[in-house]
């Protein structure tokens, strides 16, 4: 097989989504599979995208009172056991360390599946007076959940990167506002940075975070009709504060129990990004996250080489001065066609082609990565022109994802309609629901779809009067979907 054949994607996104995604991740240089099942190696290109995502979110956190910290990756079993719902919810997924060197440990240590049980005790230590609240800490780290049976890079791995925020507040009102703030920032991340519209809602009570009062979620729809839980924000009530004694003395010298929250977003957001926008030519990235936003490909023959390269270097300098992340691909040993294919595979949003005609006419040829649109523009004001085209490319990506989402939200009034609609079309099906977990089971058992969310407002009237499954009075609207 030649180098050019090996370079490209051979699977079809539409007809073999799983195989296409696995090939995309490896050939676009995002990740490799580790020797242990369930783990991946994140390559520099993949990690650079994560860093850019992280920088956006981290900046917003800091603007809203959050400070970064770091806590041990090992959690004593006795700490984990203080909150019974955490134990019951995560115990099947916990990896345990029982030896240090040759010695058995006196107490086995959990490799963190989440950090409430190691962070909350320190929130308790740091909280004495009402003046100490609110406390907001966040850590960027990895967690381990021994659940993944089939490795799907960035979607399902035993170890994954994420951020987890933990806060303590005077009362429920402040804590709920915190939960909503973080959910809003996750929604903003998807829509303003990843170019992906999302639905926001609340998890049904049987699927909320262990020990939480309320779990809110942003859900992203993939092109194959499955939903991705894009980030969650939890109001934990006082359950964790009671378990770990997070109390404070209020203005009246009374001891009160704090209200806490936790919220997290993982690199699953990257998986959703790659799957949403990429195509059979390779990776497609919004300019906000692309390591290289613009690639300049000079096209020359022996007579025009010096003039073309000088012209291209001037364009590169203007773009660099304007803060555009630009690369001039002047490799001698690769022809322009190979370069086009390689940069398309790697997800560069905008290509500038410069040949002798462009030099003679004082022009540039721009090519948009998402749809291959080709535009001839004047050389003058290149930085402003390129910024406008990068904005256009972002808008194209968002519009395409929005069109997918809007066409994939349907209604149903019976079990048969739910099964038929999801079975045929995928996407979201909303229906009346009585609130009983048992009514989810017939759908889950038949087609592996589940209730991914309900409206955030508990008082919102259901769209139908009756539960689509059992026929009892509907308490709220449920959104069913298959999931990653």
Same domain, 253 and 142: yes
Instruction: Answer whether residue 3 shows pLDDT above 70.
Output: no
Q: Which among 251, 277, 303 is the end of a domain? A: 277
The pTM of the whole model exceeds 0.75: yes
Domain endpoint, select from 397, 430, 452: 397
**Per-residue model confidence (pLDDT) at position 123:** 97
Backbone angles phi, psi at 166, to 5 degrees: -140, 130
Q: pLDDT (tens digit, 9 = 90+) per residue, 355-405?
A: 999 999 999 999 999 999 999 999 999 999 999 999 999 999 999 999 999
The pLDDT of residue 479 is 98
CATH code, domain carrying 255: 3.30.930.10
Q: What is the pLDDT of residue 92?
A: 86
The string over 207-216, giving b where at least 16 C-beta atoms fall within 10 Å of a residue's C-beta and e elsewhere, is bbbbbbbbbb
- Do the domain assignments include residue 266? yes
Whether residue 298 is found in the same domain as residue 414:
no
Task: Indicate whether 462 pLDDT > 70.
Answer: yes
Report the pLDDT value the prediction gives residue 4, as an integer from 0 to 100. 43
Tell me: do 43 and 145 sit in the same domain: yes
Residue 380 lies in a domain: yes
What is the DSSP-derived secondary structure letter of residue 152?
B
Determine, yes or no, domain membership for 84.
Answer: no
Q: Are residues 238 and 328 in the same domain?
A: no
How far is 200 from 264, CA to CA, in rounded Å?
A: 15
Q: Quick one: 60 and 172 in the same domain?
A: yes
pLDDT digit string, tens, across residues 251-287 = 999 999 999 999 999 999 999 999 999 999 999 999 9
Contact 474, 411 (CB under 8 A): no
Q: Are 159 and 127 in contact (CB under 8 A)?
A: no
Per-residue three-class SS string for 229-241: EEEEEEECCCHHH
Q: Let me know the angle formed at the C-alpha of 266 by 36 and 245, rounded to the nearest 5 degrees.
A: 105
Q: Are residues 203 and 243 in the same domain?
A: yes
**How much is the pLDDT for 1?**
33
**Region 126-131 average pLDDT:** 97
Predicted local distance difference test score (pLDDT) of residue 448:
96
Please, what is the average pLDDT of the chain?
95
Question: Which helix (H) or strand (E) segment is 26 a member of?
Answer: helix 17-27
Section 75-98 average pLDDT: 86
379 and 436 part of one domain: no
Residue 151 pLDDT exceeds 90: no
Alpha helices by DSSP H, 168-293: 172-188, 239-244, 268-277
Work out how many domains the chain is built from and give that number: 3
Q: Is the pLDDT of residue 80 over 70?
A: yes
Query: Quick check: is 98 in a domain?
Result: no
Is 96 contained in some domain? no
**Taking 50 as the threshold, does the pLDDT of residue 5 lie above it?**
no
Q: Cα 452 to the chain's mean position, in Å?
A: 16
Residues 327 and 268 in one domain: no
Average confidence (pLDDT) over 117-129: 96
Q: What confidence score (pLDDT) does residue 91 get? A: 81
At residue 148 the predicted structure's pLDDT band, cuts being 50, 70 and 90, is low
Domain ranges, residue 303: 294-397
CB 21 within 8 A of CB 274: yes
pLDDT at 286: 98
CATH code for the domain in which residue 349 is found: 3.40.50.800
Average pLDDT over residues 77-89: 81
Q: Round to whole Å and give the CA distance between 480 and 463.
A: 14
Helical (H) or strand (E) element with 210: none
Q: Is residue 140 part of a domain?
A: yes
Q: Is residue 402 part of a domain?
A: no
Mark whether 146 and 203 lie in a shared domain: yes
Supply the pLDDT for residue 62.
98
Are 367 and 416 within one domain?
no
Claim to verify: residue 57 and residue 159 sit in the same structural domain: yes
Residues 160, 139 within the same domain: yes
Cβ distance 226 to 448 under 8 Å? no
Judge whether 455 lies within some domain.
yes
Q: Domain with 428 in it: what CATH number?
A: 3.30.110.30
Q: What are 277-281's contacts with CB under 8 Å, separation 24+?
A: 277/195, 277/370, 277/397, 277/400, 277/401, 278/13, 278/24, 278/28, 278/347, 279/13, 280/9, 280/11, 280/12, 280/13, 280/20, 281/8, 281/9, 281/341, 281/344, 281/345
Whether 143 shows a pLDDT value over 60: the answer reads yes
The least confident of 82-96, 238-252, 365-379, 421-435 is: 82-96
| pLDDT for res 7 | 72
Q: How confident is the model at residue 86 (pLDDT cuts 50, 70, 90)?
A: confident
Residue 111 has pLDDT above 90, yes or no: yes
Check pLDDT > 90 for residue 97: yes
Tokens of 463: 């769209």
Share of the chain above pLDDT 90, in %: 93
Q: Pinpoint the alpha helices (H) of 28-171.
A: 44-63, 77-80, 84-90, 116-126
Query: Is residue 195 left, alpha or beta, with left meaning phi > 0 and alpha meaning psi from -120 to 50?
Result: left
The pLDDT confidence band at residue 6, using thresholds 50, 70 and 90, is low
| End-of-domain residue from the set 371, 397, 423 | 397
């Amino acid at each position: 097989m030649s180098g050019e054949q090996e370079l490209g994607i051979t699977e079809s996104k539409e007809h073999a989504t799983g195989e296409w995604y696995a090939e995309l991740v490896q050939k676009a240089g995002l990740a490799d599979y580790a020797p242990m099942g369930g783990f991946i190696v994140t390559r520099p290109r993949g990690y650079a995208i994560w860093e850019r995502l992280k920088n956006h979110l981290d900046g917003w956190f800091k603007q809203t009172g959050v400070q970064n910290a770091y806590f041990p990756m090992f959690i004593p079993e006795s700490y984990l056991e203080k909150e019974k719902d955490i134990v019951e919810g995560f115990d099947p997924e916990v990896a345990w360390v029982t030896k240090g060197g040759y010695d058995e440990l006196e107490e086995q240590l959990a490799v963190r599946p989440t950090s409430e049980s190691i962070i909350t005790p320190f929130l308790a230590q740091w909280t004495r007076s009402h003046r100490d609240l609110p406390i907001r800490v966040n850590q960027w780290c990895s967690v381990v959940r021994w659940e993944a049976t089939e490795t799907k890079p960035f979607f399902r791995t035993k170890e994954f990167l994420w951020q987890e925020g933990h806060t303590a507040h005077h009362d429920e009102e402040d804590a709920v506002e915190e939960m909503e703030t973080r959910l809003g920032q996750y929604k903003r991340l998807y829509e303003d940075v990843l170019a992906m519209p999302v639905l926001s809602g609340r998890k049904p009570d049987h699927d909320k975070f262990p020990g939480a009062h309320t779990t809110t979620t942003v859900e992203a729809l993939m092109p194959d009709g499955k939903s991705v839980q894009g980030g969650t924000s939890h109001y934990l009530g006082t359950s964790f504060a009671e378990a770990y004694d997070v109390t404070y003395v209020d203005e009246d010298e009374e001891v009160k129990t704090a209200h806490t929250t936790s919220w997290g977003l993982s690199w699953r957001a990257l998986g959703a990004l790659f799957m949403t926008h990429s195509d059979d030519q390779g990776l497609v990235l919004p300019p906000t996250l692309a390591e290289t936003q613009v690639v300049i490909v000079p096209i020359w023959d022996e007579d025009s080489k010096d003039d073309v390269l000088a012209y291209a270097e001037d364009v590169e300098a203007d773009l660099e001065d304007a803060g555009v992340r630009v690369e001039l691909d002047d490799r001698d040993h690769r022809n322009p066609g190979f370069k086009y294919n390689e940069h398309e595979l790697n997800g560069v949003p905008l290509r500038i082609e410069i040949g002798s005609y462009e030099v003679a006419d004082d022009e540039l040829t721009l090519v948009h990565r998402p749809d291959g649109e080709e535009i001839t523009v004047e050389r003058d004001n290149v930085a402003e022109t390129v910024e406008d085209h990068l904005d256009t490319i972002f808008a194209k990506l968002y519009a395409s994802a929005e069109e997918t989402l809007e066409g994939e939200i349907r209604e149903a009034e019976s079990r048969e309609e739910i099964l038929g609609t999801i079975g045929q079309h995928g996407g979201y099906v909303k229906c009346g629901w009585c609130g009983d977990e048992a009514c989810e089971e017939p759908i889950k058992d038949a087609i592996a779809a589940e209730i991914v969310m309900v409206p955030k407002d508990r008082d919102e009237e259901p769209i139908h009067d009756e539960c689509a499954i059992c026929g009892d009075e509907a308490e709220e609207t449920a959104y069913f979907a298959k999931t990653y």
